[in-house]
Chains A and B, each alone.
Chain A
């Protein structure tokens, strides 16, 4: 069907039989109705010989990352896009030099005729197909790690990001046996690097996760008028309570942090102030008050902010929340969150204090209407009720809210309630189901 255009037959270096013709490969609609795709990674470079169906690139659509198998057997003559570039469907991406005619399977790279080097991602082939998400595969390529050699640590033999990192950091065996052939994804740097600039600076492509975060932030901040209110709470009782519960939790294999208490306090207050667990449906001019309490948890990751979703927080015990938090955080770092684990939050909590900082002005996780932030707990001088000074553990708490839906008074009442529960955590007992 899509025959390559007949071009000036340029003789390739290898003494190929028959005339050489050029075949231009056009980026097709690889999803259903997509308009553009991002070139995540070239798996081949100019000069490489490729077999029919051998992977040549990873591309990302709004749906997923997918591997592109070579449409012909031949030599890569040119690549027409950079990694990280967004390319419209219908653009010429690769030019191949192909021996004419191009019978399927006439592979000049030593593969037996007709044999596809690439088993599509459909079913196990006789060779071990490594279970790993596209993100993990990409990480492996970036770190030069052969996935086949990584010991999987994930469920069902899945290779996780941390397994790849561990493998990359492990000392390499210094035997004199040649290293096993790496997966056929070793790459030649494609054409020129991104416009390298004169002077002392680096230019880093703005794409992928970074760009997705940016879009989300811009949308939130330019849609919802943000206001942040801040306060401090004496958490001496909370510190003591956690300390007293910690051994019990540990005995049950759980590391107890402050976050589950914060979540419980937040959800208790959210039930009393439903306008904070809401979103604004602009189109229908309605405020949607949600009766589910799925809390987004901001997780800092080197590759960018991730916000996994802890569902039905109101129905779970502190212990259960601790367990789920640990699992979610791990999955967030490995980028293996499922859809329900990464979408559908109704309110978000950010514990910026874990990295340092007493106060912050967080951006709302749009389309939610408020976000609660907690700062570092530290000993600070405070004035007690009797007028005396004392050193107490104090935590900064902040609430950013969407002023279209929430006014300052409501925000303050909500935050006061949260502070009351954090200052006197035994009150949470009264709210127990």
Chain B
């Protein structure tokens, strides 16, 4: 961490670290939960905590967020409960129900689609003069989608308060970023739309927070879009169905681990006298209990009837959906009556 430290209150600095530890603990537990059969496919974010938390730290509580499946550290920091990613990976119908108090869209798995949603939200915010910005977060792989171009182009043409944040974690599943694009940075693509582009060391939470703060302020005031590239590294697998040792070597893995944002930030805080072993142990324990709490909540929510998947889609269900819901219900009930037992899956 170099340069002038941002003008941030000390308890903020420590709070970021607390969240990084909590989310690392969460990530590892979620991985195990998948292996144990308690949740389904899960996309770990370990290594990207600083980039995620740093980028959300600049937002106002009522700003919009449209993100991918790998943003849970940022989302949790922004206020989404820890049980949410678990519900989402467990295929629970409530997995997409973000708290009503937050303007956060359900996570997006279709690569790049959330950029368009973000642009729509930014446009609406501009039309309604709400003073909100819309942040959309996506991966390096997403920049190869047509949606990326459409979103940046429209935001630039319409001068929308949209912030495009690329979490460049070097890999799109097994495709390294060098084979993803022929340009040296994602940020330079901003030139093509005549908007500002920044490239930041995303594993430095301070640098990320500092750049994001000025970007968010500018976007809000001047009503223009900005592109930010956070350079980071995915320490783990793409998802629980992936085995990264098949496509990256131990050397790369070790280099990634050496740049672990948690290690870097802990060293910084310790040097600043803001963190000691006792405080760290306490944070670790709190993290553990927060995670335990989320797991208990998941188990408490339990299984639900299959037909409730229709319930969260529209405020009032259209006739066709009502029909489908009814049909599914009849089938499941008939199946149970046949003695097939158990709850619906």
**Interface of A toward B, CB cutoff 8 Å:** 1-3, 25-32, 53, 63-64, 66-71, 103-105, 114-116, 118-124, 131, 133, 154-158, 338-339
B235 partner residues in chain A, CB cutoff 8 A: 122-124
Report how many A-B pairs have Cβ atoms within 8 Å. Answer: 122
Is there contact, CB below 8 Å, between B251 and A64? no
Report if A32-B241 is in contact (Cβ < 8 Å); known contacts: A122-B236, A156-B253. Answer: yes
B196, chain A: closest CB distance, angstroms:
33
Chain B 247-285 per-residue mask, 1 if CB under 8 angstroms from chain A, else 0: 101111111010010010000000000000000000001
Is there contact, CB below 8 Å, between A122 and B27? yes
Nearest-neighbor residue (CB-CB) of A119 within chain B = B28
Is there contact, CB below 8 Å, between A103 and B296? yes
Quick check: is B32 within 8 A (CB to CB) of the other chain?
Answer: yes
Among B242, B257, B292, B302, point to the contact of A104 (Cβ < 8 A): B292
Among A105, A120, A158, point to the contact of B31 (Cβ < 8 A): A120
B289 partner residues in chain A, CB cutoff 8 A: 114
Is there contact, CB below 8 Å, between B31 and A122? yes
Among A53, A122, A131, point to the contact of B254 (Cβ < 8 A): A131
Is there contact, CB below 8 Å, between A157 and B254? yes
Report if A116-B28 is in contact (Cβ < 8 Å); known contacts: A104-B296, A124-B260. Answer: yes
Is there contact, CB below 8 Å, between B241 and A154? no
Is there contact, CB below 8 Å, between A28 and B27? no
5 of the cross-chain contacts (CB-CB < 8 Å) are: A30-B35, A32-B241, A105-B292, A120-B28, A155-B250
B302 partner residues in chain A, CB cutoff 8 A: 1
Nearest-neighbor residue (CB-CB) of B293 within chain A = A104
Quick check: is B303 within 8 A (CB to CB) of the other chain?
Answer: yes
Interface centre among B32, B257, B260, B292 (most CB of A within 10 A): B32
Is there contact, CB below 8 Å, between B46 and A63? no
CA distance A181 to B87 in the complex (A): 38
Quick check: is B37 within 8 A (CB to CB) of the other chain?
Answer: yes
Give the 9 A-B CB pairs with smallest separation, nearest first: A28-B37, A156-B251, A64-B243, A158-B250, A122-B236, A32-B241, A71-B36, A120-B31, A156-B250
A154 partner residues in chain B, CB cutoff 8 A: 250
Quick check: is B29 within 8 A (CB to CB) of the other chain?
Answer: yes
Among A26, A32, A64, A121, point to the contact of B236 (Cβ < 8 A): A121
B254 partner residues in chain A, CB cutoff 8 A: 131, 156-157
Is there contact, CB below 8 Å, between A123 and B46? yes
A133 partner residues in chain B, CB cutoff 8 A: 245
CA distance A158 to B298 in the complex (A): 38
Is there contact, CB below 8 Å, between A338 and B288? no
Among A25, A123, A155, point to the contact of B28 (Cβ < 8 A): A123
CA distance A158 to B36 in the complex (A): 28
Is there contact, CB below 8 Å, between B32 and A53? yes
A53 partner residues in chain B, CB cutoff 8 A: 29, 32
B237 partner residues in chain A, CB cutoff 8 A: 121-122
Is there contact, CB below 8 Å, between A68 and B257? no
Chain B 226-238 per-residue mask, 1 if CB under 8 angstroms from chain A, else 0: 0000000001110
B27 partner residues in chain A, CB cutoff 8 A: 120, 122-123
A124 partner residues in chain B, CB cutoff 8 A: 235, 257, 260, 263
Is there contact, CB below 8 Å, between B240 and A30? yes
Q: A71-B37, A115-B288, A124-B263 are in contact. List 16 more A-B contacts (CB 8 A).
A: A1-B302, A28-B35, A32-B41, A32-B239, A64-B245, A64-B246, A67-B35, A120-B28, A122-B28, A122-B237, A123-B235, A124-B235, A156-B249, A156-B252, A157-B254, A158-B249
A277, chain B: closest CB distance, angstroms:
26
Report if A68-B36 is in contact (Cβ < 8 Å); known contacts: A122-B46, A155-B250. Answer: yes
Is there contact, CB below 8 Å, between A1 and B299? yes
Is there contact, CB below 8 Å, between A338 and B32? no
CA distance A26 to B36 in the complex (A): 8
B241 partner residues in chain A, CB cutoff 8 A: 31-32, 63
A121 partner residues in chain B, CB cutoff 8 A: 31, 236-237
Is there contact, CB below 8 Å, between B292 and A66? no
Quick check: is B103 within 8 A (CB to CB) of the other chain?
Answer: no
Quick check: is B202 within 8 A (CB to CB) of the other chain?
Answer: no
Nearest-neighbor residue (CB-CB) of B263 within chain A = A124
CA distance A205 to B145 in the complex (A): 48
CA distance A103 to B37 in the complex (A): 17
CA distance A245 to B35 in the complex (A): 55
Is there contact, CB below 8 Å, between B24 and A123? yes
Quick check: is B104 within 8 A (CB to CB) of the other chain?
Answer: no
B335 partner residues in chain A, CB cutoff 8 A: none
Nearest-neighbor residue (CB-CB) of A122 within chain B = B236
Quick check: is B85 within 8 A (CB to CB) of the other chain?
Answer: no
A62, chain B: closest CB distance, angstroms:
11
CA distance A156 to B249 in the complex (A): 8
Quick check: is B34 within 8 A (CB to CB) of the other chain?
Answer: yes
Nearest-neighbor residue (CB-CB) of A125 within chain B = B28
Nearest-neighbor residue (CB-CB) of B241 within chain A = A32
Interface centre among B31, B35, B44, B285 (most CB of A within 10 A): B35
Chain B 86-119 per-residue mask, 1 if CB under 8 angstroms from chain A, else 0: 0000100000000000000000000000000000
B299 partner residues in chain A, CB cutoff 8 A: 1, 3
Nearest-neighbor residue (CB-CB) of B45 within chain A = A122
Is there contact, CB below 8 Å, between B46 and A116? no
A123 partner residues in chain B, CB cutoff 8 A: 24, 27-28, 46-47, 235-236, 257, 260
B38 partner residues in chain A, CB cutoff 8 A: 1-2, 28, 71
Is there contact, CB below 8 Å, between B296 and A68? no
Is there contact, CB below 8 Å, between B46 and A69? no
B253, chain A: closest CB distance, angstroms:
7
Among B90, B249, B257, point to the contact of A338 (Cβ < 8 A): B249
B46 partner residues in chain A, CB cutoff 8 A: 122-123
Interface centre among A31, A104, A122 (most CB of B within 10 A): A122
Interface centre among A1, A25, A26, A133 (most CB of B within 10 A): A1
Is there contact, CB below 8 Å, between B253 and A63? no
Among B34, B37, B246, B285, point to the contact of A114 (Cβ < 8 A): B285
CA distance A51 to B240 in the complex (A): 22
B260, chain A: closest CB distance, angstroms:
6
